[in-house]
Structure formats: C-alpha cells, structure tokens
Structure 1
C-alpha cells in the first residue's frame, strides 16, 4: 500500500476517502474473533478426538469426523449429483480421496508425534502453495527459513519418530492438493456443492471402516462422544466460522491468521493432552510460522 501524502493538501481533483461504512470495524473485529474461535475449535477438536485413540484408534476417530463433516456439508451444499458431468466429477472424486487421506495421515501423526508438531508439519502444505506461486526474492528467503524450521523439527535424535513425521508431511501434501483441487471444483461447480459431494463420498468410503471397528472393538460412550466432538469442533464449527470470516476479513489477513494454528495446536496439546515441547521444537515451529507471516506481511506493502 502507498502511504498517504503528508505535509500538503490533496490535489483538487482528488476526492476525500469515503468514511468507513457504519459497523464495518465491528464486523471486522467479529471476523477476527471468528478466526481465532475457528482455529481454537479446530485444534481443541483434534485434541479431544485423540482421547479416543486408545479405543477407536486414529482410523475410527477420522471415520467419525468424516461422517460429521459430510452431514454438515451436505446440509449446507445440497449437491445435485445427477447434474454433474464427468469434467465435474473427476476433481470431486480426487477431492474426496485427498480429504480422507489428509485427515487420516494428520490424526495418525498426532498419535505418534503430538498435536503441535503434527499440525506444524501439515501447515507446510498451504505455505508451500503460497511460496511456490510467487517469484519474489523475499518468498525464496521465506522458503529457506521454513525449510530451516522443518530441519530443526526433524533433527536426528534417539527418540525421533520418523514415521510420524512422514505422516505429518503426507498430511501437508494432501492439504496442498486439497487447496488446488478445491479451486478446480469451485470453478466448475457452483457454491459448496462440489465440496459437499466430496465430503459425502469420503464418508461413504469410511463407512465399512466404521462398521468393522464397531464390530471388532465395541466403542465406549465416552470414545464415541470424543470422536463426534472432534467432528463438530474440527469440521462443522471451522467451516461455518470461515464462511462468516471471509465475508468480513481480507483474504491476506485470513491467510496471516492461519499462521497461528500451529501455535494454538501446541498450546492445546500442552493443556489438554499434557504434550510438552522442548525449546528447540518451539524454535522450529516459530520459524515456520514466521516464514508465512513475513511472506504475507511483505505482500501487503
């Protein structure tokens, strides 16, 4: 943005900037509050869902989350499936596959390396998309900074769980693919119909998994409640909150606030699950977060 001229009157042919619309500041503040609530809800849902791992396992929790997400998105999107052409169907099918794989790899990573580190590695997906789409030198520097943070998080040590880290990176690849496929689906199918159809197909794919888990390991009421809470808090609430947020908050501000999610995940993991991170882990996480924040802040100048 260019700064307003100072020390002299504005030229006569320029009009004064229009005053902000009544209530605009209040709506923007509400949007910021919704972003924070969305992020906190998402990470809290993941933490609560992990409490059901001993009974349902990550697969069972993800299955329940997919069911809840499908119910919410199908109710909102109301897709007219019979009107879809093959050109519309194939990205929906890929989106359904990526949707399920993304959540399964993330929750499996949470089970092995903890909420904070898993979400930080997953966050590399959207960060990579943002940096790869730019040709600025500052973004190349941000990519190097983020890579340094990842190396710090994945440093060799006796207790390192490289399978868990690999699952976190798989979740990152899936999130990046999810973003790209969502763009394609959004261009070819009106509204939320495409995303709703993909969520329904993903839930349908997890239906046999859920049935097997129920038959072989009858879940407790508490485990089912935790899994359903994960679906509501990590799927329904963030989706509805983001619909409100994107109407009142600029896209760049929304992207900047996304940087807070790894920090929220680490804090929630510490409070709810007792997962403590060392200072080196915090430093690596902060490096990844700052890489994204710097890239977006410089883009606004």
Structure 2
C-alpha cells in the first residue's frame, strides 16, 4: 500500500473523529454554550498535544513558530464560528457549509483531473444538502461561511507549520495559542455550574477535545506532509457526511431524501479520491516566496 493511500485513509479517519467529537460537544450547549465548548476543546487539546510533542524552547524562534501562532488564531475563528452555526442550523448543514473551504482549495489548486472530478461530485452533494432545506437561519449560514474561509486557511497553515516545527510541535503550539485566547470564555462558561454539572462538562469536554481537536489536528499535520494540498482538500468531503450521521445518531437531527442523496455523492467523491490516489505522487512542493510572505 502506498504512503499516499495510507495518508488518505488517515485523513478520512481524522474527519470521522472530528465530527463525532463535535456532536458529543454539542450535547453540553445548554450548560456552557458554543463558546464554552470551543474553549474546553482547545484546553484539552493543548494539554494533550504539549504532553506528547514536548517542543524544544530553543526551536521556537520567530520564523519557525509564526505559522503555528497564525494557525492557533485560525483555530479559534474556525471553531467559534462553526459551533455558532451548529447551534443555529444543525451539525450536518453547518459542516457542509464549512466544507466549502477545503473544496475551494481542491478546485483552485488541483492539476489532476481526478481531483477536480471528485471535487465537483462532492460539491454537487453539498448543493443537495443545503439547497433542499427551507428557511435556513441567515446568521447560521454566515457563520458557516466564515468557518469555511477559516478551514481553507487551516489547511494552508497546517502544511506550513508542519514544515517549520518537527513532529506535531506545530499543532501543539497552535493549540496552546488557541487555548490561551479562549481561556476567558472557559472561565465565564463554568461560573455558576453545580459540582455535578461541572463533572459532566469536564467528561464531555475531555472526549470532545481529544476526538475533535488533539487527535485529528495531529493527523492532519502529519498527513499534509505526504499528500498534495488539492487531494487533501477533496478528502475533507467526508466531513459533511460524517457530521450528518453524527448529528442523527448523537443529536437526533434527521435527514431528508435529498440530503441523503447529497451524502451519497459526497461519500462517492471521497471514496474515489482515496481509492485512486496516485501511488507515486510526490509530496507537496515547498511554498513559493510570495505564498510564504502571504502566510507568514
């Protein structure tokens, strides 16, 4: 089995982990709200990743740590807007809108017809998922689109952070930045909760943090060293399908026939991309000077 195919399978597994964790985290919205869930996720992710990565302080100089700091900022925006959208329009639709970010990365950056074809198939599924739902909350839609732009930036910065810091050091630093920025939200969310509620929030937050942040962010950082960015963007098409299923099973959010058809197309596009991944594909080329300036 080729390295690229293994990486593609890992990317799909990471996507499934994200959406199960997101659904689990959404169950404590009534207690801590979307912002509280995001803060919990980031705190858990930072503790877990720093314990594993143990980045050397001598290596954390300006040029090496800058992409990770920017990645931390993007994580905050991406997660706050996504959970805000989930609260308003449901997990499946929120993640479907967010998927427009990696889909755009796939369409704009691909040089292979296969990637473009898979992106079109998955994009058609996105249209079926969103276009068949009447009366969508416009604020929820806007938050989902902001999350999409942040997700596209996340892909670019994860790749850059993976090159400047070894192992999962880039993800660990990014999670620490995100945890620091969201820590006031966590304090506010926990004020006034009873001891039993605090215990429940802590357990759910731990599960959501590991499943939705620590594990998949580490997978993405490593996978982006092996996969071309466009192919990685196509593989993210599993997110809307995984989110819709997780929303149904965990949160009881039902799906209509057209939405199910959309999920089938999204899954098909993803399966084709994984199954036909080129064995000899080269790792992504280093960023050009102009792109490095734009991201740095």
Range into which the TM-score falls when normalised by the shorter chain: 0.7 to 0.9
Residue 95 of structure 2: aligned partner: 119
Question: Does the CA contact (< 8 Å) of 1:51 and 1:223 recur in 2?
Answer: no
Partners of 1:81 and 1:197 within 8 A in 2: no
In the alignment, the residues of structure 2 paired with residue 289 and residue 33 of structure 1 have an alpha-carbon distance, to the nearest angstrom, of: 13
The farther-off stretch of 141-150 and 118-127 is 141-150
1:94 maps to 2:70? yes
Question: Are residues 1:269 and 2:247 paired?
Answer: yes
Q: Is the 1:91–1:185 Cα contact (8 Å) retained in structure 2?
A: yes
- The Cα shift of 1:257 comes to 6.0
Q: Which residue of 2 aligns with 1:281?
A: 259
Instruction: State the partner residue of 2:29.
Output: 53
Secondary structure at the aligned position of 2:131 is classed as coil
Residue in 1 aligned with 2:45?
69
What SS is found at the alignment partner of 2:253?
coil
Change (3 A) 1:269 1:76: same
Change over 3 Å in CA distance of 1:252–1:209 after alignment to 2: closer
User: Are 1:106 and 2:82 an aligned pair?
Assistant: yes
- Please name the residue that 2:207 is paired with: 229
Tell me the TM-score normalised to structure 1 length.
0.75
Contact 2:82 2:94 in 1 (8 A): yes
Aligned residue pairs: how many?
276
Equivalences for residues 281-300 of structure 1 within 5 A: 281-294=259-272, 300=278
Are residues 121 and 40 of structure 1, via their aligned partners in 2, closer, same or farther at CA, if it must alter by over 3 Å?
same
Determine if the alignment matches structure 1 residue 43 to structure 2 residue 19: yes
Unaligned runs of 5+ in 2: 280-296
Which of 140, 145, 150 pairs up with 1:169?
145
CA contact (8 A) 1:256 1:293 kept: no
Match of 2:110, SS?
coil
User: Counterpart of 1:183?
Assistant: 159
CA distance in 2, matches of 1:80, 1:38: 26
Deviations 1:111-168 (A, max 9, x none): 2222222222223322322222124455555555444444433338643123222222
Could you tell me which residue of structure 1 aligns to residue 190 of structure 2? 214
Q: How many angstroms apart in 2 are the aligned matches of 1:74 and 1:188? A: 17
Which has more radius of gyration? 1
TM-score by length of 2: 0.76
Q: Is the 8 A contact 2:115 2:234 kept in 1?
A: no
Residues 267, 158 of structure 1: alpha-carbon distance in 2 compared, 3 angstrom cutoff: closer
How far the C-alpha of 1:216 sits from its partner, in A, is 5.3
Are the aligned partners of 1:259 and 1:289 in contact in 2 as well (CA < 8 Å)? yes
Question: Whole-Å Cα distance in 2 between the matches of residues 169 and 65 of structure 1?
Answer: 21
